[in-house]
Each structure stands twice: as structure tokens, then as C-alpha cells.
Structure 1
């Protein structure tokens, strides 16, 4: 009987060494979760098993439990590297099967899909207006086409016109600097993304606190002169609301007509210096994809050369009532099981799903020092059980040699 008991001990120590060796071998595996071997005592069935004097029959491996605890966050220089600080898992589409992982080392395949090393595609909630449809999952795909241009529709002009300006002595002529007091230009865009120069000319009138404003686009006059008027304290009083519209201008590129509003509400008439505090417009040209940003909430933004960014989706996170019950399927991925409970979909920064860190990876939660101590302990257990077998063999040999 000691042979069988000690043999079970050898098997248990060997299993413990296997679990420890697997932990040590994956110490540098991104998103890896260490395991722990649990053992149970064996008793023979029958009447003897209920006796307080029953002798145990050895040991068996009861389970290998995963330790789903947080690993350290290591920062990288790749925006598509993602780490979760919390209980959530990344959701993946692996050839039609839904899998889960904590390993956030993602890249882009030749079709623009964001994938891990095995080609499983990262799942996101699609954009729906200003929100995200959390009831639907889709593969995250980076935009490979140019960002569409936007035609200019408004210019914001924050200027100061000098209060001591005098009326020019000649009629307005954009080619004659003596016919106006000041001028400024701003680049605007048509619906095809083509640049045009919009130039404003400011000319003091004979009336106190009153100015003429002329607009030309690409040297073409747009409408006629418009008036702006200030009160005695230098604040704009006309036009009401501060917005002027000079009329429609038709680009020569075949683009849609430009109907440009100019907001002078932040324009003043103070002092003796002409200053430009703000002169901006809302149009932009087409742009090429130059990068991807991912917020702590998991929103994926595509950045373009025209300074614009588009939301491509929101990273879908999943949690489980019993993450230790997940089935390991290799490649640092898990599958849902009955023991894990049903998958609960969610978003970063909500509940216990955690926060997403872009440009970072979660390292394995393996404590190498602890594993080496476990290895020594398992080795001693193996040696002790082997010695027990040797002792039992000596006893058996002694009995056989009795004459």
C-alpha cells in the first residue's frame, strides 16, 4: 500500500512542477494569468472511510485554478497596444467564434482590421450619431480612404480697429493701399477641399465709429460694401448679432457655391492700434490617415493630416461573474463556459470593467520569486515521496528475506 500512496504523491508533485513550470515559462507573456495547483486527500471507500482511525490513500490533483489578478502595466510607443486596469477582457472575433483576452498587443492586417498576433479581430461598438450602439459588435477597421473635406461657411473675426483712424481720401480700390485703412486674409475651402484666399478690407467712413468692410475671394469682389458700427465705448452695435453676409461666391473649381458668414461680434474699436486677435474659419481640406488615438473610455479616433479626427468605434469590454471558470484555449485567450457565467458586455470606465490605457501592455501576473520557491517545495515533495517508495521497497525486501 505505501507504494500506491507514495506514487500518488509523486504524481501530485509532478503536476505541481508542471503548473509552476508553465507559470515560469510565461513570465514574459503579455496578459498571461498564472495558475495554482490544488490537491485533495484520498480515502478508500467503504466502512473504513468513516472510522477515525482510517488511513489515507494518498493525494490527487483536485484542480488547476487560474489566478485572474491584475498584472503590471508596461508602457510602449505603439498606440494600438492596449492594457486594461480592471476586471474587463477584450472581446475578439476569431473566425466567427467570440473569444476573450487580456493581451492587448494589436496591429493592423492588410485589410485595415485591428487584429492580434493570431489574426483575431478586436470588437468595438459602432458609432451611432453622437453615441455608440452598445447592443451591437463589429470588427474595428481603420479608415484607409481620405477624410472628406468641408466647405467653409463661417469666419470668426476678432479684431480691433483703431479709434483714431481717418477716412481715406480716395475711392476704394483693392489695388490701392491708400484707399483703405487695413486688410487681412484668411484661407477658406470649397466643398472639394480646394483652398481660396478670402481678403477683408476695412475702410473708415466719414461718420464717427463707422467702418466699411469689403470682401474679395481670389481677387473677385463678393457683394458690395457692408457697414459695421460701434458705440462710444468701442463695442460693436451694428450689425445686430455681429454677423455679416456678403453674398454667394461661385468657385471656378466646379465646387458648390460658398455662402460665407463673417462673425464680427468680438471686434472692437479701441485705442490707436489695428490688431488681429482671432481670424479663423470652419472649413478644411481632405486629409490622409496619420495615426490612431484611443481614449481611456475606449473610443478609437482616426487622426488625419487636415487636423480632423473621426470616431471609429468604442472598444467592447466583457466581464464574467467567475472569470476563473473561463476555458483556456491557447494564445492567451479564453472562451466562455458554464462555470464562468454568461458574458456581460460593457464599456471602459463603467462598473468594474476598468480603464483602457493606450500605448501600454499588461504584463503577466507571475511573481518569479514565488514561483521559484514553489518549484523548490515541489521538488522536495517529489524527493520525499521517492524516498518513501525506496523505504517501502527496503521493508518489502526485508520481509521477503525472512527465513
Structure 2
């Protein structure tokens, strides 16, 4: 019996050395989770019980339990696709329909633009986006970095905050009619870049003319011409202004814009419903062609005031832009992948998905710092980072191994002592048997 007990102890100590050695070997493995050898004693018993004088029958390995504690997050890797999870959860990998789960975020991009693991064998799973850049939650898909150009968008709205100085002198529009080439014919000028459907940039100029107490006229030209491309100085096509009216406290009351038939409309906005895209070159108007659709432009004037302060405007906001090429990629804490373009636009192109399990220790190790779902682990739940108990994503960072080298070295000493002690049990039993043989 003592031989069997000693042999079981040697086997257990050897397994403890194996587990400890594996932990130490993977101290620099990204996303690695250390393991712990768990043992249980062995007793022989009959159907009616073991009795009170039964001696144990040794030890056996009960389990090698993985320790899913958080590893340190190492930042500043220089690769935006290096990702660490700060908190719980696993990245999801798809290898031809076979899903695996990992904490190692050393991701790459393959030749087709898909985000993959480091050996390009499995694609990272996440949520795609629709045509408007909205994340489509609930359906996992292969994440892909689309490097195609961002199509241009025609300007349809322009907004800003404007103050017109209330003490400015009124201009006699009869004696001094509006002429964009004469600064004395207008009080203030504001310029705004706008775009047509082909991404061509145009300059929209607004000329503010104070015509009397609490009233201002506004002339709007595009590329130095009327919105329809005609000469603003031609008597037959001289622009008709919009009139802004303010109350005694300097707040905007109305904007009166003549319709083509001549009847005014009252609105807090200016509307350009028909303009011809083009530009002036050496004083000659050059249309961009019928292929460019200018669309209508609404100029929000709601935030216009007339106070005794300098006439000034905040930086205008307009929703058009030219064609853009992707310049760089960023990933936020929610795992949203944001493509930044050369036209200063930002567009979501996908979102990292994380998986969670009821029993993480029930996962099966499959190598490559990855795990597979088992019956013991339970089925995975998928969601966005920072949702519920799921952790956040750290881009340009990696989660280091959670192995504590000091503890593992102590475990080596303990395993060595256990091995020597169990070997001594066998040696002692051998000596006793030799004595008994000599006595016979």
C-alpha cells in the first residue's frame, strides 16, 4: 500500500511541477491565464462504508483550474489594432464557422481588409454598420476595414451664431446700392465654404447691410455670383435681399425672403432652392456642368442677434464635404472602430463584440491563447464592450500574462519538496521490505 501511496504522491508532485512550469514558460504570452493544480485525497471503501480506521490510499489530480484574473494592461504598442480588455469578456474569433474566444488582442489586417488574429487564421467578430454609419447590434459579422474613399456630400444646411452691432450707421441703399466690390455698400461680410454633390467646394458670401433701426438686408452670393450663376451687378439680375427684423431687445423677430413671384415669406431661415455650381476664373463664370447637383441650402439665422457689440460670427457649421480618403483609424472604449478621413470626417465602420460565460473555468483550452465553449462553461452571451459587466477596450494596448513569477517560484520549491518527501516514502518502504526479507 505504501508504494502506491508514494507513487501517487510522486505523480501529483510531478503534475504540480508541470503546471507551474507551464505558467512560468508563458509569463510573456499576451492574454495568457495561469493555471493551478488542485488535488484530492483517495480512500478505499466498501459498499457499507470505510469505517473509522481506514487509511488513505494516496492523492490524485482533481483539476487544473485556470485563473481568469486581470492581467496588467501594457499601453503604447504603436499598433491601433492591438487591443486589451480592461475587465471581463473575451474577443470572438471565427475560423470558417468555428468560434473560439481569446484575451490576446494582437490583431492584424489580412489582404482583404478583414481584422484577424496574429496568424491570419481566424477573423475577429463584431457588429457592422448600415449606410448611415449606425452600428447594427445583435448580429455578429467579420469586422473589415474599408479603405475606399468617402463619397462627397452636398451642403444642405448652414448654421452659425451671429451678432450685428446695433450702433452701426444705416446705409442709404438708394444713393449707395449694394455692390459686392464696394465695401461702403454693405456693413459686414461673412464667408462660408459649401459643397456640391461632386465634392466641389464653393464660397457662399453673406453681405449684411443695415438699412434702418432694427432692420438689416442680407445678400447671398455663391462664388461671387447670384445663386443661379447670373451677374449680381446686371440690372436685370440684381439680387433681391432678405430682410431681418429685430425687436427693441435685439432679438431676431423675422427673416423676410421674397419668393420668385415677389411675395415675401417670413421664416427664421434663408433658403437657396436653386443655384448653379461653378466658379469665377479671371472674372468669367465657369459652371461645373450639369452632372453636379447643387441641392438646396438652408441657412439657419435663428441665432442672430443685434446687440451693441462687434459684428461677428462663430465658426459656421455646414453638413457638406468633399471626397475623403481614410487617413487613420481609432478605436474607443466601447470598441467602436472610427475611420478618420482626409476631409475631416469621421465614420464608424464597425464595433468589437465581446463574449461572456457563466463559468469561465469551464472553457476548454485549445492553444494559441484561445478557448472553446463547453457544456461546463455554458453558452456565450455577446454584447458591446462596457455593457453590463463587460470590460472596456484599450486600443494601442495589450493585456499581459497574469502569471506571478514570484509565486510560481515558490510553487516550484514546494513541488520539489513534495516530490522528495514522496520519494522518501517509497525509499523507506523499500528499506522495511529488505529488512523483512532478511528476517525470513
TM-score (norm 2): 0.84
**2:262 alignment partner in structure 1:** none
Determine the structure 2 residue equivalent to 1:209.
214
- Residues in 2 aligned to 1:367 and 1:48: alpha-carbon distance in whole angstroms: 46
Q: 1:332 aligns with which of 369, 386, 391?
A: 369
Change (3 A) 1:112 1:390: same
CA RMSD of aligned residues (A): 2.4
SS of 1:388's partner is: helix
Please identify runs of 4+ aligned residues in structure 1 that moved more than 6 A: none
User: Matches of 1:346 and 1:267 in 2, distance apart?
Assistant: 45
C-alpha deviation, 1:131, in angstroms: 5.8
Residue 398 (structure 2) pairs with residue 361 (structure 1):
yes
Structure 2 residue 201 is the aligned partner of structure 1 residue 198: no
Deviation at 1:250, TM superposition (A): 1.7
Structure 1 contact 124–138 (Cα < 8 Å) conserved: yes
Mapped to 2, the partners of 1:338 and 1:295 lie a distance apart of 33
Unpaired stretches in structure 2, ≥5 consecutive residues: 228-238, 256-265, 278-286
Q: Among residues 241, 256, 262, which one is paired with 1:225 in the alignment?
A: 241
Residue of structure 2 aligned with 1:122, choices 121, 124, 148: 124
> Residue 250 of structure 1 aligns with which residue?
276
Partner of 1:11: 11
- Partner in structure 2 of residue 154 of structure 1: 157
Does 1:260 pair with 2:297? yes
CA contact (8 A) 1:30 1:363 kept: yes
Question: Aligned partners of 2:337 and 2:254: how far apart in 1?
Answer: 44
Residue 47 (structure 1) shift: 7.6
Question: Is the Cα–Cα contact under 8 Å of residues 134 and 348 in structure 2 kept in the other structure?
Answer: no
- 1:159–1:278: 8 Å Cα contact kept in structure 2? no
Q: Residues 200 and 215 of structure 1 are in contact (CA less than 8 Å); yes or no, is this contact kept in structure 2?
A: yes
Give, in angstroms, the shift of residue 33 of structure 1.
1.1
Partner of 2:142: 139
SS in 2 for 1:65: strand
- Secondary structure of the corresponding residue to residue 249 of structure 1: coil
Distance, in Å, in 1 between the alignment partners of 2:427 and 2:203 is 96
Alignment partners' CA distance in 1, 2:399 and 2:361: 18
Most deviating of 33-42 and 307-316: 307-316
Deviations along 1:43-69, whole A, 9 cap, x unmatched? Answer: 346589723323333222122111222
- Structure 2 distance, partners of 1:292, 1:22, is 37
TM-aligned CA distance change 1:74 to 1:213, over 3 Å: same
> 1:157 & 1:45 partners in 2: Cα distance?
87
Do structure 1's residue 25 and structure 2's residue 25 form an aligned pair?
yes
Report which stretch shifted further, 124-133 or 62-71. Answer: 124-133
Q: Would you say how many aligned residue pairs link Structure 1 and Structure 2?
A: 402
Residue 40, structure 1, aligned to residue 40, structure 2? yes
Q: Distance in 2 between matches of 1:200 and 1:135?
A: 47
Shift in CA distance, 291/130, structure 1 to aligned 2, threshold 3 Å? closer
Is the contact between residue 133 and residue 349 of structure 2 (CA under 8 Å) also seen in structure 1? no
* Equivalent residue, structure 2, for 1:281: 318
Are the equivalent residues in 1 in contact too, given 2:138–2:383 (CA < 8 A)?
no
Aligned to 1:167: 171
- Higher mean C-alpha deviation, range 56-65 or range 183-192: 56-65
Once the two structures are overlaid, the 10-residue window that deviates more, 259-268 or 332-341, is 259-268
CA shift, 1:95, in A, is 2.9
Residue aligned with 2:316, SS: strand
Q: Is the 8 A contact 2:6 2:58 kept in 1?
A: yes
Q: TM-score, normalised by structure 1?
A: 0.91
The Cα of 1:249 is off from its aligned counterpart by 1.0
Q: Assess if the C-alpha contact under 8 Å between 2:329 and 2:338 holds in 1.
A: yes
**Mapped partners of 1:353, 1:258: distance in 2:** 45
- 1:370–1:288 distance in 2 versus 1, CA, 3 Å: same
Moved more, 185-194 or 266-275: 266-275
Structure 1 Cα separation of the partners of residues 223 and 29 of structure 2: 60
Which position in structure 1 is the counterpart of 2:113?
A: 112
Q: Report deviation, 1:314.
A: 2.7
How many Å separate the matches in 1 of 2:193 and 2:339? 25
Do the aligned residues in 1 keep the contact of 2:337 with 2:351 (CA within 8 Å)?
A: yes
Query: Aligned-pair distance for 1:189?
Result: 0.9
SS at match of 2:24: helix
